[in-house]
Amino acid sequence: MSEEIEDAGKTVPRAMLGSYILNGALGLVFLISYMFTMVDVQAALGDATGYPHIWVFSQAVSSGGVVALNVIPTMLIFAGTLSFNLSTSRQTWAFARDKGLPFSSWMERVHSGLHVPVHAVVITCAITIALSLINIGSNEAFNASMSTPYHVF
């Protein structure tokens, strides 16, 4: 990203440090708040839902509050996935632009109206979706695919 930012030597490190400090402070506040609401660890782990955090939330707020509190991590996961996908598609486009990938001439094209490398974005989204579907099909297959890359050769 530093090639698109003016005065990247100062801007990028400041943004990274600011993000680190803000996320750390918010994480610490969340952790302390969460620990104060957790009254019984064994009851949380033995909850019928299989999701201990739902039990902890239900001890602190009403059922509507539990839903609202579960929206927060869901949105954070979505934002993280979106950010990771954008970063990956940017790298994919850069590799394709440098002729480092198969079908580079197709993948490096930038949409004239959107000014976005749509093909690179679609490819990275498709791979992300395919990898996430492995877990739906079989937990064992997902765990095997995530743990064996170092044992293939």
Instruction: Select from 78, 92, 73 the least CA-distant residue to 27.
Output: 73
| Cα gap 45→67, rounded to integer Å | 19
Secondary structure element (H or E) that encloses residue 77, with its range: helix 63-97
Top mean pLDDT of 83-97, 124-138, 139-153 is at 83-97
pLDDT tens column, 23-44: 999 989 988 988 888 888 898 8
Per-residue pLDDT for 153 more than 50?
no
pLDDT tens column, 113-129: 988 899 999 999 999 88
Q: With cut-offs at 50, 70 and 90, classify the pLDDT of residue 2.
A: low
Map out the domains of the chain as residue ranges: 63-151
